[in-house]
């Protein structure tokens, strides 16, 4: 690690807490961010000489607040700039501040900061961009790159989101238990969105977008450290870890998707898997199930199987069944049907997804899955129709390429051997 790398790390980890506290103090996002930036500039000057403060977040909050207040006074009274030392000389004050910061406020400060990014009027893409900018402190350039848009477009998106948040009334009083849990749910959903933005990338962009997955995991861990006894936050963190653990195995060298069954499982990240499994174990003790825990448990069953044929599909079918009750959605049923096809065969699975066709008539995966079931049953002509439809709905070239592979196989097998496919 270079001489200044530790400062970057310290500033990044302190950021949510510092900006959150400054926001509570100034009640204005721009002022809070500017105060934080100023504090960082002073940290870059002071820390290399004086060493790291005992509590970097407390230091940044204190300095950020003082600088901002001085700015306000100066513009008001046209006074001279105060001496740098007068601001940076924290001495005993830091201890007292750190004492007060401990525990009580900062948990709600960080939650509030994340929560304002989830404003219901903001479209999902703006929520995510705003959170990455404000909470994670990624630069506009970094965010633009991860979203595959121009820097100018991202700048505009963030500015617009900020303007909308500024108009909205941000609740600054300490939230009650119900409100806190509502905020937590909204924030968890947003973190999941950030993750999916990275996870749903196609092979050619996966590497560029992977930081989104890593940032989502960082935020989930942060949230879990603040709310240590929330089983759904344990579930969320576990889910992200277990899914991201497969990152290195999900695409081939040409960027084409490799399905779970065909992935090289030795490429899965075992450290992430162990952590994910440990978190689910912890969550289960609470006997308060929820959608993230169930999805994490499904991921865990895949992670536990050293070979695809050792996957516990019966249990996965049951878990999707529970998820269907909790969060009814045709997409969940579609996923369950895949498990059903492994347990009870493609016929049963096909029956299960038939009623979904109307609601999923524009959903790529529906036709991909339907085509695969039909192919397993040897109904190749119908399979071809479904695959054609899937290709027309594909969101990425990798998705289309994957379906084309099935079509090629159909072409090859469309001669006498076709019926043997049903026995697979």
Count the residues of the shown chain that bind another protein, applying the rule CB under 8 A.
Answer: 20
By CB under 8 A, the residues from 1 to 60 that bind another protein are 6, 9, 13
Q: Which is nearer to another protein, 102 or 381 (CB)?
A: 102
Helix, coil or strand: residue 256: coil
282 sits near another protein (criterion: CB under 8 A): yes
269 sits near another protein (criterion: CB under 8 A): yes
Helices marked H in 120-269 — which ranges?
A: 124-134, 140-147, 151-167, 177-199, 206-226, 231-244
Question: What is the rounded end-to-end Cα distance, in angstroms, of the chain?
Answer: 53
Contact with another protein (CB under 8 A) among 229, 266, 310, 415:
229
The whole-angstrom distance between residue 45's C-alpha and the CA centroid of its chain comes to: 34
- Contact code string over 123-162 relative to another protein, x by CB under 8 A: ----------------------------------------
Only one of the segments 64-72, 80-88, 152-160, 228-236 lies at the binding site for another protein (rule: CB under 8 A); that segment is: 228-236
Is the Cβ–Cβ distance between 66 and 86 less than 8 Å? no
240 sits near another protein (criterion: CB under 8 A): no
Q: Which is nearer to another protein, 17 or 380 (CB)?
A: 17
CA-closest candidate to residue 129, choices 105, 100, 153: 153
Q: Which is nearer to another protein, 43 or 356 (CB)?
A: 43
Contact with another protein (CB under 8 A) among 168, 278, 326, 405:
278
Q: Is 383 exposed, middle or buried (0-12, 13-18, 19+ CB in 10 A)?
A: buried
Identify the DSSP state of 122. Answer: S
Residue 177 CB, nearest distance to another protein (Å)? Answer: 17
Q: Which is nearer to another protein, 21 or 241 (CB)?
A: 241
Q: How far is residue 302's CA from residue 407's CA, in Å, rounded to a whole number?
A: 27
388 sits near another protein (criterion: CB under 8 A): no
Residue 286 CB, nearest distance to another protein (Å)? Answer: 8
Q: How far is residue 59's CA from residue 53's CA, in Å, rounded to a whole number?
A: 7
Contacts of the segment 113-118: beta carbons below 8 A, 24+ positions apart: 113/16, 113/19, 113/20, 113/23, 114/16, 114/183, 114/187, 114/190, 114/219, 114/223, 115/183, 115/186, 115/187, 116/29, 116/165, 116/168, 116/170, 117/161, 117/165, 117/190, 118/186, 118/187, 118/189, 118/190
Only one of the segments 66-74, 229-237, 290-298, 309-317 lies at the binding site for another protein (rule: CB under 8 A); that segment is: 229-237
180 sits near another protein (criterion: CB under 8 A): no
Only one of the segments 141-149, 226-234, 311-319, 382-390 lies at the binding site for another protein (rule: CB under 8 A); that segment is: 226-234
274 sits near another protein (criterion: CB under 8 A): yes
Helix, coil or strand: residue 257: strand
Tokens of 354: 């038939």
Residue with tokens 């899937």: 390
Residue 221 CB, nearest distance to another protein (Å)? Answer: 6
107 sits near another protein (criterion: CB under 8 A): no
409 sits near another protein (criterion: CB under 8 A): no
Interface positions with another protein (CB under 8 A) = 6, 9, 13, 218, 221, 224-225, 228-229, 234, 237, 269, 271, 274-275, 278-279, 281-282, 285
């Amino acid at each position: 690690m270079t001489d200044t790398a530790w400062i970057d790390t310290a500033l990044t980890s302190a950021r949510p807490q510092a900006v959150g506290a400054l926001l509570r103090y100034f009640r204005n996002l721009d002022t809070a961010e500017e105060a934080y930036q100023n504090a960082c500039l002073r940290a870059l000057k002071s820390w290399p000489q004086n060493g790291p403060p005992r509590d970097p977040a407390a230091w940044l909050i204190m300095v950020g607040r003082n600088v901002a207040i001085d700015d306000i006074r100066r513009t008001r009274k046209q006074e001279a700039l105060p001496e740098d030392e007068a601001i940076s000389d924290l001495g005993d004050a830091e201890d007292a501040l750190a004492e007060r910061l401990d525990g009580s406020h900062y948990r709600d400060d960080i939650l509030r900061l994340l929560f304002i990014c989830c404003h219901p009027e903001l479209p999902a893409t703006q929520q995510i961009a705003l959170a990455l900018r404000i909470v994670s402190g990624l630069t506009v350039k970094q965010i633009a790159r991860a979203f595959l848009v121009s820097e100018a477009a991202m700048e505009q998106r963030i500015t617009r989101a900020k303007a909308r948040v500024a108009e909205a009334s941000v609740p600054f009083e300490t939230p009650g238990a119900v409100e806190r849990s509502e905020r937590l749910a909204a924030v968890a959903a947003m973190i999941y969105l950030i993750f999916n933005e990275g996870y749903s990338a196609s092979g050619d962009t996966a590497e560029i977008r992977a930081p989104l997955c890593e940032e989502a995991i960082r935020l989930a861990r942060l949230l879990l450290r603040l709310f240590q006894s929330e089983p759904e936050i344990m579930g969320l963190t576990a889910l992200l870890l277990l899914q991201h653990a497969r990152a290195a195995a999900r695409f081939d060298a040409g960027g084409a998707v490799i399905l779970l069954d065909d992935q090289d499982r030795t490429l899965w990240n075992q450290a992430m898997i162990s952590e994910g499994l440990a978190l689910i174990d912890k969550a289960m003790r609470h006997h308060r199930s929820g959608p993230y825990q169930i999805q994490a448990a499904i991921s865990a069953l895949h992670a536990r199987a050293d070979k695809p044929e050792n996957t516990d599909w019966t249990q996965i079918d049951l878990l999707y069944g529970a998820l269907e009750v909790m969060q009814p959605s045709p997409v969940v049923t579609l996923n369950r049907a895949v498990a059903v096809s492994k347990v009870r065969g493609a016929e049963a699975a096909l029956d299960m997804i038939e009623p979904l066709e109307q609601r999923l008539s524009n959903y790529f995966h529906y036709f991909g899955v339907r085509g695969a079931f039909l192919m397993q049953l040897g109904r190749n002509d119908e399979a071809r129709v479904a695959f054609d439809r899937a290709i027309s709905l594909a969101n990425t070239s990798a998705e289309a390429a994957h379906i084309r592979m099935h079509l090629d196989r159909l072409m090859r097998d469309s001669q006498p051997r076709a019926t043997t496919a049903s026995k697979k």
